[in-house]
Amino acid sequence: MRILVVEDDPLIGDGLKMGLGQLGFVVDWFRQGREGLAALAAAPFDAVVLDLGLPGMDGMDILAAWRQAGQDVPVLVLTARDTLDERLQGLDAGADDYLVKPFALSEVAARLRALIRRRHGQSVSRLVHGAVSFDPVARTAWLDDKALELTARELALLELLLSSKGRVLSRELIEEKLYGWGQELESNAVEVYVHHLRKKLGAGFIRTQRGVGYALGEPQ
Amino acid sequence: MRQRPTLQRRLAVLLLITVPLIWLVSTAVAAYEAHHEVDELYDTQLTLFARQLLSVNMGERGDDPLPVLPKTKKLIRGGDRGEMEDDDIGVAVWNEAGDLLLSDGKGRHFSFDAARRGFYTVSGQDDTDEWRLFYLPAPDGSRLVAVGQRQKLRHEVVLKVIQGQLLPWLLGLPVLLLLILWAVRQGLRPLQLLADNLAGRSPQERSPLPENVPGEVLPMVRALNALLARIAEAMEHERRFTADAAHELRTPLAALQVQAEVMALMPDEAGRQHALALLQQGIGRATRLVEQLLALSRLDPLQGLPAAQPVDWAVVCRDAMADVAAAAADKNMQLQLNWQDSPAQVLPLTGDATLLTLMLRNLLDNAVRYCPAAACIELQAAATGIVVRDNGPGIAPEWLARVHERFFRPPGQDMPGSGLGLSIVERIASLHGLRLQLANRPEGGLQVSLHVA
């Protein structure tokens, strides 16, 4: 799941990027308000972590601009402004959730997962398809109740496929969801990960739609 | 509870006291005037009457019985117009010997006195009433005429005049009172509306009060509006301070917590080392924040400088420069000390050298912190003041007025800071009677100057 982080404090921003990265998210981090504003439309982000006190453009203004432009990506606001008035103001401006600094990284991750799940209309966190199931919190996949050994990218691809049931995902979209800006990527990376997953989960788990992309196969 | 004096009650009491007083005085004046006029009129009539009687030739009647007329109403039916009873007037004519030649009314009771001339006021037979008499002798002294009138008649006329005046006053007083009270109530209605407006306000509402009030109330409304504006400003300042303080105090903690969690999460040594370095940086930032807070809390209660000594600026400047020299060298910066006047002439004042060093160190530290590498920082000392100049990015004009506020930092700082440095500088400066001024230099960079306020 690809997350946009807009946070001007270098230590917090770096921590979010590194920490959320370890927790299974693909993170792009921007420190300037205007950069963050423009970034949301440039990639298929699943959620945003937005600080309010930003240089160039205030977080509240960015949020309002996104909502005005019709962006419905879930936004988790992170801020030190904690008075009731300010929290209400943020929620009214279109924030989906609110966390006051200092916060626990695990809580940020949990809230992001909940926001994304809710957006996809899921109410349970575990994703199941046939004999394959995946726990986004534990970042563990099972085949017939047997835990699988998967790399972080393989897990990310599995999560993406499981949360996009019935949809065909283009190679470009998969690349964008799996890699943040500035991350190196081999031209055939997606094919490689699809191949690995098929080997571990069964050839029919991923279906190739020629000229379009990949989708989940029939549940087995 | 004792009732407060209201304008209405006060006015009512005032009117109830003054209006009768005015009536009393005006009545007294009117009575006096009326008495005077009535006297004049009746005296003239008496005089004329006496003259007419004298001019009538009565002849010598000799032994004729004294002619006495019956009462007027017996002479003519309905001929008695006016209030005057026949008993209230009198006429008498005597010869020089004092024999009564003619009398009418009570005239026969008038006493003869050949020496009497002109007006006399005498008491009547029963001593209860007074008579006004006019004695007029014939030029040859052969006859003496006396005409008279009861004084009561005159008093009655005056009394009527006073009564005529009393009625409108008595009727007018309550009407006047009601009218004035109504006018006062109407005039004070805007005050009641104003009170309702103020009472119905929420503490957050800061819109000015409407100024469509009478001229007497307008100054109060304007003053209230000015007060509301000042309160709104103070509240806004307070709100900003709280928000800035929350930001500056919570951000370092948030950074520490995040980096600590990251360190625990990182599977590889390189990642842990990276997080550890940032964690240490965060601890440094938090430490500096605590130090600045402590410095400010020590400065805040100071009313003055208990141990003020003549300041040796050479030592103060040298110490402050030395404190930031290492940081400046790390960033390859040029740090210059420029004496415009001899150290002995620079800003002659007494003060606390330790605090002044802290003040200069904060200014130099800001310059080193926020200027890019290889920047030029100059500390200039002159008799007129101390100036710290740099050729860094300056401060965005919209933040210039706020940077000295506690905990305020323009958003988007790469460098850690507490937002308290300039507050500390300003506090020390004001303790020494100096004023802090910040300005962007036209050629780029920031100029911070300290002058005698």
pLDDT tens, residue by residue, A162-202: 888 888 888 888 888 888 887 777 788 888 889 988 988 88
Number of structural domains chain A divides into = 2
Domain hosting residue A158, numbered range: 127-216
How high is the pLDDT of residue B129?
77
A42 with A71, same domain: the answer is yes
| Chain A residues within an 8 Å CB radius of B261 | 15, 19, 104-106
**Are residues B411 and A18, on separate chains, in Cβ contact within 8 Å?**
no
| Chain B residues within an 8 Å CB radius of A87 | none
A169 with A61, same domain: the answer is no
Residues of chain B with CATH 3.30.565.10: 302-452
**CATH assignment of the domain containing A51:** 3.40.50.2300
**Are residues A55 and B412, on separate chains, in Cβ contact within 8 Å?**
yes
d(CA A27, CA B441) in angstroms, rounded, equals: 40
**Are residues A11 and B282, on separate chains, in Cβ contact within 8 Å?**
yes
By residue count, chain A amounts to 220
How high is the pLDDT of residue B390?
92
From A32, A80, A81, residue closest to B412, measured CB to CB: A32
Cis peptide before B442 (omega within 30 of 0): no
d(CA B165, CA B30) in angstroms, rounded, equals: 9
Which of B257, B258, B259, B280 is the best residue to mutate to test the A interface, defined by the most A CB atoms within 10 Å of its own CB?
Answer: B258
* C-alpha distance from B326 to closest chain A C-alpha (Å): 23
A28 with A111, same domain: the answer is yes
Of the three residues A91, A119, A147, the one that is the final residue of a domain is: A119
d(CA B122, CA B134) in angstroms, rounded, equals: 11
A164 with A211, same domain: the answer is yes
Burial class (CB in 10 A: 0-12, 13-18, 19+), B106: buried
d(CA A163, CA A129) in angstroms, rounded, equals: 10
* C-alpha distance from A79 to closest chain B C-alpha (Å): 8
A12 with A40, same domain: the answer is yes
From A22, A58, A104, residue closest to B257, measured CB to CB: A104
A145 with A106, same domain: the answer is no
| Ordered alpha helix ranges (H), chain A | 10-22, 33-39, 59-68, 84-92, 105-119, 152-162, 171-178, 189-201
Q: Residues with Cβ < 8 Å from B146, sequence gap 6 or more?
A: B50, B90, B91, B92, B93, B94, B107, B110, B116, B133, B134, B135, B136
The residue of chain A with its CA nearest to that of B247 is A80
How high is the pLDDT of residue B261?
93
Distance, CA of B431 to chain centre? 37
Chain A interface, Cβ < 8 Å to B: 8-12, 14-16, 18-19, 22-23, 31-33, 53-56, 58, 80-83, 86, 100-106
* C-alpha distance from A90 to closest chain B C-alpha (Å): 14
d(CA B47, CA B379) in angstroms, rounded, equals: 116
How high is the pLDDT of residue A151?
87
How high is the pLDDT of residue B378?
92
**Are residues A10 and B414, on separate chains, in Cβ contact within 8 Å?**
yes
A135 with A78, same domain: the answer is no
**Residue B265's closest CA among A104, A36, A119?**
A104
Answer with the residue of higher pLDDT: B4 or A51.
A51
A113 with A135, same domain: the answer is no
From B256, B258, B414, residue closest to A16, measured CB to CB: B258
Encoding tokens for residue A63?
Answer: 């949020």
* Phi-psi sector, B84: left (phi>0), alpha (psi -120 to 50), beta: beta
d(CA B239, CA B231) in angstroms, rounded, equals: 12
Give chain A's mean pLDDT.
87
The residue of chain A with its CA nearest to that of B412 is A55
What is the value of pTM for the model shown? Answer: 0.62
Integer CA distances (angstroms), A120 to A74, A134, A155, in order: 11, 16, 18
**Are residues A105 and B413, on separate chains, in Cβ contact within 8 Å?**
no
Tell which CATH classification among 3.60.15.10, 3.90.76.10, 3.30.565.10, 3.20.20.70 matches the domain B302-452.
Answer: 3.30.565.10
**Residue A191's closest CA among A180, A178, B262?**
A178
Answer yes or no: is pLDDT of A49 > 90. yes
DSSP A74-112: -EEEEES--SHHHHHHHHHTT-SEEEESS--HHHHHHHH
Answer with the residue of higher pLDDT: B364 or A92.
B364
In angstroms and rounded to an integer, the radius of gyration of the C-alpha atoms of chain A is 18
Q: ipTM for the complex?
A: 0.78
Which of A9, A35, A77 is the best residue to mutate to test the B interface, defined by the most B CB atoms within 10 Å of its own CB?
Answer: A9
A102 with A203, same domain: the answer is no
How high is the pLDDT of residue B201?
86
* C-alpha distance from B424 to closest chain A C-alpha (Å): 23
From B250, B278, B412, residue closest to A80, measured CB to CB: B250
Of the three residues A55, A90, A119, the one that is the final residue of a domain is: A119
Of the three residues A64, A91, A119, the one that is the final residue of a domain is: A119
Please count the residue pairs, one from chain A and one from chain B, whose beta carbons lie less than 8 angstroms apart: 94
Task: Judge contact between A143 and A131, C-beta under 8 A.
Answer: yes
Low-confidence ranges of chain B (pLDDT < 70): 1-5, 57-86, 125-128, 412
A76 with A46, same domain: the answer is yes
**CATH assignment of the domain containing A177:** 1.10.10.10
The residue of chain B with its CA nearest to that of A106 is B261
**Are residues B265 and A12, on separate chains, in Cβ contact within 8 Å?**
no
d(CA A51, CA B361) in angstroms, rounded, equals: 32
| Chain A residues within an 8 Å CB radius of B285 | 11
**Are residues B414 and A80, on separate chains, in Cβ contact within 8 Å?**
no
Q: Which residue has the tokens 């460098």?
A: B415
A151 with A109, same domain: the answer is no
A11 with A108, same domain: the answer is yes
